[in-house]
Chains A and B, each alone.
Chain A
């Protein structure tokens, strides 16, 4: 069964090099990746996630608006009636903001310099623990 991951860029930031790299690298590891492109509102991202029935949502943001927009995405997912999609994020995010973001429902933050292996390990671990819950 394929794992489906939505990669999205909320807000106005147009720097998509990282998002595209992660999307491609995940595809090369066997995931089905839906990429929404740039300039997405939190609501658009949440509804896309529901329609695509993804297991993960990855958010990329480099403009400093992560503390406002990442929690908004989680909120919109709740509004849409979904709470089991795992949300992670990356971009220019100072370590000091990570605790706040985690408290708002973002499961992991992958800052500058993170290797793709770290992200893939995270996804695999989350998938395993979700499967054992269903199992």
Chain B
């Protein structure tokens, strides 16, 4: 397959772990439609699958960025290279975003084996940008041993991280009055490790107990660990070091028990469906025959009950 020059340059660049190329490649997959980026993604596909992917999620204020910052150090001390994608929500009204996660991790900026990138969700629900998966592939193909994806957890919509991370860490902090959030079944099921951060605060023990009790009822294999951390403690590489150990242990376990393979296969399946869905929908909506149904008159008639909504759907299905 012959790639155009620009794309070939990008591919060569990221395989050499050239920071500028990596950055450009992430922008490329962020901004391009499927057709444009497919050749690139196809070219790097053989090089993906090596990085271990860790998802750090939780409510704003739980301390995710501080934990990520300390995790980076812990993995660097182990000699691992680390890529980070920090995802923050775009404003649904203005489409703009303030991406401030980097602040906590800036001290790693001068480390050649760390790559930090902030991403705006750009309207995607689920806490992740639709393009986060593709950005992950770029970092994976570039050769980073570990990729950490940090995302805001705002409730039930964190499920996306489950479809791409080998290990999901859900972070809580006491005092948010949102202990009830902990109880929301959807969210609670997703994590492989639970962290109660700011463990020196009031009510942290209560929160720890609440979460531990729920986790004990979990049928997940292995049973998720619940940890306490004080991520801002400067002496504290050790409690984050402990978190890192648990993450590594978890990933090792799933790897050897072939649960990692199972996970990754399910990731492929869901991504296949997601990608195909998007392609097919885009294609369908661009079909002239389909577009014809989207004129104002037709819609008005549906509103006035002159046409039946469901009959129109039948007609569209016939047209494609």
Contacts and interface: CB of A to CB of B under 8 A. Distances in A.
A–B touching in complex (CB under 8 Å): yes
Interface of A: 1-2, 23-24, 26-37, 40, 43-44, 47-48, 50-53, 80-82
24 contacts: A1-B31, A2-B31, A2-B120, A2-B122, A27-B94, A28-B96, A31-B96, A32-B97, A34-B118, A35-B98, A35-B100, A37-B106, A40-B106, A43-B110, A44-B106, A50-B19, A50-B20, A50-B23, A52-B23, A52-B102, A52-B118, A53-B26, A53-B27, A80-B20
Contacts of B94: 27-30
B90 to A, nearest CB: 7
B96 A30 contact: yes
Nearest to A44: B109
B24 A53 contact: yes
B244 interface: no
Contacts, number: 82
Contact of B98 (A23, A29, A37): A23
A82 B21 CA distance: 11
B72 to A, nearest CB: 14
Given A29-B94, A50-B19, A50-B20, 12 more contacts: A23-B98, A27-B98, A28-B91, A29-B96, A30-B95, A33-B97, A34-B99, A34-B100, A37-B103, A53-B23, A53-B27, A82-B20
B96 A32 contact: yes
Contacts of B95: 2, 30
Interface residues of B, number: 28
A66 B32 CA distance: 38
A30 B123 CA distance: 12
B96 A26 contact: yes
B117 interface: yes
Contacts of B115: 51
- Residue in A24, A29, A32 with the greatest tally of chain B CB atoms within 10 Å: A32
Contact of B120 (A26, A32, A48): A32
Interface in B213-272: none
B21 to A, nearest CB: 10
Contacts of A31: 96
Contacts of A40: 106
Contacts of B316: none
A81 B20 contact: yes
The 5 A-B pairs of least Cβ separation, nearest first, read: A37-B103, A27-B96, A53-B23, A53-B27, A30-B96
A130 to B, nearest CB: 14
A35 B24 CA distance: 19
A32 B86 CA distance: 13
Contacts of B117: 51-52
A51 B106 contact: no
Nearest to B122: A2
A35 B102 CA distance: 8
Interface string B87-129: 0001100111111101100100110000111101010000000
A48 B98 contact: no
